[in-house]
Structure 1
Amino acid sequence: MRETILMMAWAMIGTAFFVFFALKMGLTAGYGRYTNQAQWGINPKLAWFIQESPAFFIPFYFLFGGLSSTGRILNCIFLVHYFYRALIYPFRIRSTTKSPLLIVAAAVAFCTYNGTLQGVWNSYYQLEEELTYRHLIGSILYFSGMFINHKSDNILMTLRKPGETGYKIPTGFLYEYISCPNYFGEIMEWIGYAILGWNLPALAFAIFTFANIGPRAIAHHNWYKEKFPKYPPTRRALIPYIY
C-alpha cells in the first residue's frame, strides 16, 4: 500500500506539470468570471460543499484508524483547512453564478484523490518525529497563509453591497500589492504543510497547488487590467514586487 500511495504522489506531480502548462497556454477553468452560462450548472453553494467535502471526510475517516501520532496531528492540520472550505465557506458565498457540472465533477475527483493520498499517508506511513525548528517554520507558514487566504476572501465577499452586481477593484491589505492574495495565501499554506510533513504526498500537493492556481493568478491579473483601464499599475499578480 505504501508504494501505491507514493505512486499516486508522483502521478500528482506529473499532472501538476501538465496542468501548469495547459493553463499557461491559455486554458481557463470555467467557473466564476469565466463561466460559460450555456453549460449545465448547479448552485455555487451546493457545488462548493459537494466538491470540497471528500478532502474533509476522507482524512477525517482515517484520523481514527491511524498508527502514527505525528501523522494524526498532520491530518488535523490538513482538516482545519477543509473544514472551513467544505462546511463554512460554501454558505458564505454570495455569487449566484452556477458552477458547471464538469468543473464540479473534476474537483470532486481531485479532492477524493488528494484526501485519500494525504489521509492514508498521514495515518499509516508518516514517521514519528520530535518537534524541531522545521515544524515551527512550517506551522508559521501554514497558519499565516491561512490568515492571508481568509482575510483576502473576506475582502472579496464584501466588495459589493447587497443588490449590487458587476466587478470592482479590490483594495486594502495585500490587494495593494498583488491581485490575488487569496491564492498567495493558499500556496503559502500548502508549502507550510509540506515543510511540516516532509513527505512526498505533502510535497506533491504543494506543487499541484502552485501549478493550478499560480497561472490563474496571472489570468486574473490580466483580466483586471483589461477590465479596468485605471487598474493600479504597480500591482503584481501573485508575489508582491516580484511576480
Structure 2
Amino acid sequence: MNIFKSVIYPPPSLFLNVLTGVCLIAQANYGISEVRGAHFAYSKFWNWKEDSCSKSSACIAAKVSGRTGMLISYTPPLVAAVTSFFLPGVLAAPRGVLVCAALGLHFLKRDLEVLFIHKFSGNMMIDSAIPISLTYFTHTVLIIVSQYFSTGMSEPEINLTYAGIVLFLVGITGNFYHHYLLSKLREKGDKTYKKPTGGLFNLVICPHYLFEIIDLFGIALISQTLHPFCFAFGSMCYLMGRSVATRNWYKSKFENFPSGVKVLIPYIF
C-alpha cells in the first residue's frame, strides 16, 4: 500500500472509483469474449456477426465502411482530448498538459492512420463501432477528470513522468511502424489477407497491440492517477484476447503457420 501511495495520487472520489472499476471489468470481459469467439466486428472479424445474423430473420446487421467505423471509434475521444485544452483547470500543471497532449496525439495518430495509412478489406458493424467509441470517449474523459482533481494535491513521492514520456514515445512509434507494415501487405484494390512480416511480426502476431499497450501505460505513468492505469490494464486484457483470436484465425487460414510466433510478447506469450 505504501508503494501504491508513493506512485499514484489518492483517488479523488468514490464515484470515480466505481466508474473506474466498472470500465475495467467491461474491458476485461471484452477480452474474454474475443477468446470465446464473440468478436468486435471489425478488421478480420468484421462479418462474423453478419454471418450469424443471416441465420435469423429477426437480426439486422447494420454496417458502415471500415474506414467510417474506425473514424466513429476514434474521433470522439480525440475531440475530448482537444477540448481539454480549453479547460484551464486541467492544464494548471505541466503534468496535466502532458497527459492531455499524449491523449490527443494518441487519437490524432489513430485518425490519420485511418485516413492515410490503413487499407480496409471489409466493413464494420455499427454495434461494434459505437461501444468502442463510447469506451474510448469515456476513458479519455475520466482520465482528464482524474487529472483535474489531482491539481493542487501533493505530488507522488516517485516521479514517473519522464519514464512515462519515454514509454509513450516508444509505444506510439512502434504502433505506427507496425501499422505501416500491415498497410504494405496489399496493393491497391487487393482485399486478400497475407501473413505479416517484418518488424516484430516474425515473433508475435500482433506487435501493434503490444506497442499500443506500451503507449497506454506511458500515459498512465505520465498521469500517475488511478484511472489511466486501470484503462491501460483493461486495454491489455482486451488486446490479449483479440491477439489470441487473431493468431487462431491466422492458423486456420494459413497452412504450416509457424508455432514460434507468439500471441503478444516475444518468446513468452
Q: TM-score, normalised by structure 1?
A: 0.90
Gapped regions of structure 1 (runs ≥ 5): none
Which residue is 1:50 aligned to? 72
Query: Shift in Å at residue 89 of structure 1?
Result: 1.8
Gapped regions of structure 2 (runs ≥ 5): 1-11, 52-60
Structure-to-structure mapping, 1:36-75, within 5 angstroms:
36=47, 37=50, 39-67=61-89, 68-69=92-93, 70-75=95-100
Q: 2: distance between equivalents of 1:65 and 1:145?
A: 27
Task: Report the AA paired with residue 125 of structure 1.
Answer: S
**Is the radius of gyration larger for structure 1 or structure 2?**
2
Q: 2: distance between equivalents of 1:116 and 1:99?
A: 25
Aligned pair count?
242
Query: Shift in Å at residue 189 of structure 1?
Result: 0.8
**Change in CA separation of 1:197 and 1:135 when aligned onto 2, cut-off 3 Å:** same
Tell me if structure 1 keeps the 8 A contact 2:70–2:114: yes
Matched position secondary structure for 1:146: helix
**Change in CA separation of 1:128 and 1:97 when aligned onto 2, cut-off 3 Å:** farther
Which residue is 1:230 aligned to? 256
Matched position secondary structure for 1:173: coil
Identity rate of aligned residues, in percent? 21
How large is the Cα RMSD of the aligned pairs?
Answer: 2.2
- Residue 204 in 1 paired to residue 230 in 2? yes
Of the three residues 183, 197, 201, the one matched with 1:157 is: 183
Task: Report the AA paired with residue 197 of structure 2.
Answer: T
Which residue is 1:176 aligned to? 202
Which residue is 1:16 aligned to? 27
Task: Report the AA paired with residue 203 of structure 1.
Answer: F
Q: 2: distance between equivalents of 1:132 and 1:184?
A: 26
Of the three residues 96, 101, 106, the one matched with 1:76 is: 101
Of the three residues 38, 47, 50, the one matched with 1:27 is: 38
Task: Report the AA paired with residue 148 of structure 1.
Answer: G
Query: Shift in Å at residue 115 of structure 1?
Result: 2.1
Q: 1: distance between equivalents of 2:43 and 2:251?
A: 17
Tell me if structure 1 keeps the 8 A contact 2:29–2:238: no
Task: Report the AA paired with residue 115 of structure 2.
Answer: F
Query: Shift in Å at residue 118 of structure 1?
Result: 1.5
Q: 2: distance between equivalents of 1:130 and 1:204?
A: 18
Tell me if structure 1 keeps the 8 A contact 2:42–2:66: no
Tell me if structure 2 keeps the 8 A contact 1:72–1:123: no
119-128 or 159-168, larger mean C-alpha shift = 119-128
- Residue 91 in 1 paired to residue 115 in 2? yes
